[in-house]
Amino acid sequence: MAGKPRLHYFNGRGRMETIRWLLAAAGVEYEEQFIKSKEDLEKLKKDGDLLFQQVPMVEIDGMKMVQTRAILNYIAAKYNLCGKDLKEKALMDMYIEGIMDLGEMILMHPMKPADAKEKDLALIIERATTRYFPVFEKVFKDHGQDYLVGNKFSRADVQLLELILITEELKPDILSKFPLLKAYKGRISNIPTIKKFLQPGSARKQPMDEKKLAEAIKIFS
Partner 1 sequence: MAGKPKLYYFDGRGKMEPIRWLLAAAGVEFEEELLETREQYEKLLQDGDLLFQQVPMVEIDGMKMVQTRAILRYIAAKHNLYGKDLKEQALIDMYVEGTTDLMGLILMYPFLSPEDKEKQLATIIDKATKRYFPVYEKVLKDHGQDFLVGNQFSWADVHLIESILMVEEKSCDVLSEFPQLQAFKARISNIPNIKKFLEPGSQRKPVPDDKYVETVRRVLQAYYVVKAT
78 binds partner 1 (CB under 8 A): yes
**Cα separation of 210 and 208, whole Å?**
7
74 binds partner 1 (CB under 8 A): yes
Output 68 or 159, the one with its CB closest to partner 1: 68
**Cα separation of 156 and 147, whole Å?**
9
Strands 31-34 and 6-9: parallel
Segment holding 71, helix H or strand E: helix 68-78
Out of 26, 63, 170, 203, the only residue in the binding site for partner 1 (CB under 8 A) is: 63
Considering CB under 8 A, how many residues would be counted as binding partner 1? Answer: 29
Sequence length of the chain is: 221
Smallest separation, CB 58 to partner 1 (Å): 11
122 binds partner 1 (CB under 8 A): no
65 binds partner 1 (CB under 8 A): yes
Smallest separation, CB 197 to partner 1 (Å): 24
52 binds partner 1 (CB under 8 A): yes
Output 32 or 93, the one with its CB closest to partner 1: 93
Smallest separation, CB 135 to partner 1 (Å): 6
Q: Which of 212, 168, 161 is nearest to 24 (CA)?
A: 161
The answer to whether 202 and 24 have CB atoms below 8 angstroms apart is yes
Give the CA distances from residue 209 to residues 36, 111, 136, 195, 206, in Å, rounded to whole numbers and listed in that order. Answer: 16, 11, 29, 24, 8
Out of 66, 149, 216, 219, the only residue in the binding site for partner 1 (CB under 8 A) is: 66
Read out DSSP for 34-49?
Answer: E--SHHHHHHHHHTT-
**Cα separation of 72 and 156, whole Å?**
11
Residues 81-120 as x/- pattern, contact with partner 1 by CB under 8 A: -----xx-xxx-xx-xxx--x-------------------
132 binds partner 1 (CB under 8 A): yes
Q: Which residues bind partner 1 (CB under 8 A)?
A: 51-53, 61, 63, 65-70, 73-74, 77-78, 86-87, 89-91, 93-94, 96-98, 101, 131-132, 135
